């Protein structure tokens, strides 16, 4: 089997095993077994257990960014951009099930490089939000935008976990809740006087 295919297969199995057992309890031997290959192959391709986790995260993060930024691009007003981004975010999370949630929470534990990868992912999300919103800000208030974006990303992450335990909640409802909670406050950052004409 060619390397690229094998790598994809390994990452898929790894994501599953990490999700099932948790990062610490997951053993490289088990992953290798399930792939139907010997352990050194994993090390040949990913370098280390942490490297394998990082690869899984990186792939998921790339896809998340693609999905959310596409959604935001397709919308026109800032409000709709944010809402569309949120919906696609909760959609993505739901589609990826616990695997995604676990990857996020697990990664921080590992070491600098996996933690860095997770951070980079959030950074992309916060950058996406703050840069999108900053387009509509009259003054260079982007300074305040960055921490606000942190709050949004963190809040959504948390809410996504909550939604996992309340499966009746739809991505649209989750997004709507976040919008109700923060949109007014967001507007005061984007545009200090609430002028409905702009958004």
Partner DNA sequence: CGCGTAGCTTACCATCAGTAGGTTACTTGC
Partner DNA sequence: GCAAGTAACCTACTGATGGTAAGCTACGCG
Which structure tokens are listed for 154?
A: 């963190």
Rounded CA separation 136/146 (Å):
14
| CA pair distance 47, 25, nearest whole angstrom | 19
Q: At what angle do helices 142-165 and 78-107 cross, to 10 degrees?
A: 60
Residue closer to DNA, measured from CB, 36 or 167: 36
Q: Which does 178 bind (CB under 5 to 8 A by kind): a copy of itself, DNA, none?
A: a copy of itself
Tell me the window of 22-30, 101-109, 154-162, 188-196 that interacts with DNA (CB under 7 A): 22-30
156 contacts which partner out of DNA, a copy of itself, none, CB within 5 to 8 A by kind? a copy of itself
Pick the binder of DNA from 8, 22, 38, 70 (CB under 7 A): 38
Does residue 12 touch DNA according to CB under 7 A? no
Q: How far is the CB of 40 from a copy of itself (least distance, A)?
A: 22
Spatial CA neighbour of 99 closest among 17, 10, 29: 17
The item of DNA, a copy of itself, none sharing an interface with residue 48, based on CB under 5 to 8 Å by kind, is DNA
- Residues in contact with DNA, counted by CB under 7 A, come to a total of 20
Residue 8 contacts DNA per CB under 7 A: no
26 binds, among DNA, a copy of itself, none (CB under 5 to 8 A by kind): DNA
Is the distance from CB of 86 to CB of 178 less than 8 angstroms?
Answer: yes
Query: With respect to a copy of itself, which residue has the nearer C-beta, 12 or 123?
Result: 123
Name the one residue in this structure whose structure tokens are 């060619």.
2
Nearest distance in Å: CB 43, DNA = 4
Q: Which of 13, 14, 19, 37 binds DNA (CB under 7 A)?
A: 37
How far, CA to CA in Å, does 175 sit from each of 22, 59, 114, 184?
Answer: 28, 24, 28, 14
Q: What backbone phi and psi angles, to 5 degrees, belong to 141?
A: -90, 20
Q: How many CA atoms lie within 13 A of 127 on its CB side?
A: 7
The single-letter DSSP state of residue 111 is -
Which spans of this chain sit near DNA (rule: CB under 7 A)?
A: 1-3, 6, 26-29, 36-41, 43-44, 47-50
């Amino acid at each position: 089997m060619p390397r690229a295919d094998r790598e994809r297969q390994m990452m898929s199995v790894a994501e599953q095993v990490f999700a099932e057992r948790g990062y610490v309890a997951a053993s490289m031997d088990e992953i290798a077994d399930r792939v139907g290959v010997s352990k050194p192959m994993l090390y040949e391709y990913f370098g280390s257990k942490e490297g394998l986790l990082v690869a899984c995260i990186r792939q998921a993060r790339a896809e998340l960014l693609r999905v959310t930024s596409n959604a935001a691009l397709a919308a026109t007003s800032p409000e709709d951009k944010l809402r569309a981004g949120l919906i696609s975010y909760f959609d993505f999370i739901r589609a990826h099930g616990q695997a995604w949630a676990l990857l996020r929470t697990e990664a921080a534990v590992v070491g600098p490089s996996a933690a860095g990868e997770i951070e980079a992912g959030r950074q992309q999300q916060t950058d996406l939000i703050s840069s999108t919103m900053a387009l509509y800000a009259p003054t260079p208030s982007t300074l305040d935008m960055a921490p606000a974006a942190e709050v949004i990303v963190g809040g959504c992450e948390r809410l996504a976990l909550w939604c996992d335990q309340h499966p009746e909640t739809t991505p649209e409802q989750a997004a709507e809740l976040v919008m109700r909670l923060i949109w007014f406050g967001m507007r005061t950052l984007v545009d200090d006087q609430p002028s409905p004409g702009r958004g």
